[in-house]
Amino acid sequence: MEKIKVIIWGFGAMGKGMAKMLLLKKGVEITGVCDLNPEYIGKNFLDIISMDVDHPTVYVQSDIDFLLNQTKADVVLLCTDSFVKGAFDKIKKIVSHKMNCISTAEEMAYPHANEPVLAKQIDHLAKAFGVTVLGTGINPGFIMDLLVVALTGTMVDVEHIEAKRVNSLSPFGPTVMHEQGVGISLNDYHKRIMDNELAGHVGFKESIQMISDALGVKLDDFQQQMEPIVTNVDRKSTYGEANAGSLAGINMTGQGLVNGSVFIDMIHPQQIEPEMEGTQTGDYINLKGIPNINMAITPEIDGGIGTIAMCVNMIPHVINARPGLKTMIDLPVPRAILGDMRDLIEQDDK
């Protein structure tokens, strides 16, 4: 059997991380890389990520149509967008070339939540072309949704769900510092909120809808809030700096309501150097019901590595799946791939 062939579309931190990970795996090869960065176009992707391994040369292309027409691939890793609207036309292109697609777009983790019409279109297109589309990542995609769902599998009844991800932004670069308002004053924070220029975490609606659909619960309402995390001490990370009185980050909270009261509660404060004011980072899931379950992962699972790993590790599941738009609750559990990736492909199916 030939190696599994992968195209990476979007060669930022996520795309590069996936390339590095794929180069460590057996039975898989990268056949194309697409990015618009003028510093990358025409260069061998191996040189960009400084990997000296035995792998065919692949030059970064800026023209995706040319690339998709000329290149064989089983799956395209789409690492370009956060929202379904932005990813939609790209997914359409990929699917029309009869290639499976895994997207890092946060909204794609459960596109039915914010874009039900586009989600239906993606599903129809994927079925028409006989391929599978999946959105995944560490969160949404695992910590605050799939892992919650899996733990409820051991429960007779569920009364209340709390998912809390307390993480450090310190490892992240300038883009994230800007997106999360690290170092800005309270005034600037309020101005950017007014101008709709502070996204914070994208994914609560997706995670909450994924959980409620998985459990068969009808939500009457979804709401979310954003609050500044103002530091009392001077904090500094590699790319971020927040003086006392300015923002160390943002606390996002969200709720899914059933019969007027909160059934799903999400808490997700993100900041640089949380330990400086005694915040212990971690992923926490607290389920009330029969039985109660209290889970803690400390420290939190690294968001960057986790998203890279989830996308690569889901490749065989996506190739094996029936055609259509899938989400993490439709497919078998993700798993690390330590052997030959081809051994995980079901030969008789699809």
Summarize as ranges the residues that interact with its own copies (CB under 8 A).
21, 24, 138, 142, 146-147, 149-150, 152-158, 214-218, 289-291, 293-298, 301-302, 305-306, 308-310, 312-314, 322, 328-340, 343-344, 349
The CA dihedral of 165, 166, 170, 174, to the nearest 10 degrees, is 50
Minimal distance, residue 76 CB to its own copies, in Å: 20
- 76 vs 143 by CB, closer to its own copies: 143
- 71 vs 152 by CB, closer to its own copies: 152
What DSSP designation does 216 have?
T
- 142 vs 189 by CB, closer to its own copies: 142
As a whole number of Å, the CA-based R_g of the chain is 21
Minimal distance, residue 58 CB to its own copies, in Å: 21
Q: What amino acid occupies position 126?
A: A
Nearest to 147 by CA among 162, 166, 160, 168: 162
Nearest to 229 by CA among 209, 244, 208: 244
Minimal distance, residue 27 CB to its own copies, in Å: 9
- 214 vs 266 by CB, closer to its own copies: 214
- 36 vs 257 by CB, closer to its own copies: 257
Minimal distance, residue 113 CB to its own copies, in Å: 17
Minimal distance, residue 54 CB to its own copies, in Å: 19
And the tokens for 311? 């996308």
And the tokens for 346? 């079901």
What DSSP designation does 302 have?
P
Minimal distance, residue 215 CB to its own copies, in Å: 5
Minimal distance, residue 139 CB to its own copies, in Å: 10
| Gap between the Cα atoms of 259 and 266, Å rounded | 18
Q: What Cα–Cα distance (Å) separates residue 236 from each residue in 48, 167, 189, 232, 274?
A: 29, 15, 19, 13, 11
Could you tell me which residues come within 8 angstroms of residue 151 by beta carbon, excluding any fewer than 6 positions away? 285, 287, 293, 295
- 193 vs 258 by CB, closer to its own copies: 258
Instruction: Say if CB 137 and CB 310 are below 8 A apart.
Output: yes
- 177 vs 214 by CB, closer to its own copies: 214
- 33 vs 341 by CB, closer to its own copies: 341
Instruction: Say if CB 55 and CB 29 are below 8 A apart.
Output: yes
| Gap between the Cα atoms of 41 and 63, Å rounded | 10
| Gap between the Cα atoms of 226 and 339, Å rounded | 43
Q: Give the sign of the dihedral formed by CA 204, CA 137, CA 240, CA 163.
A: positive
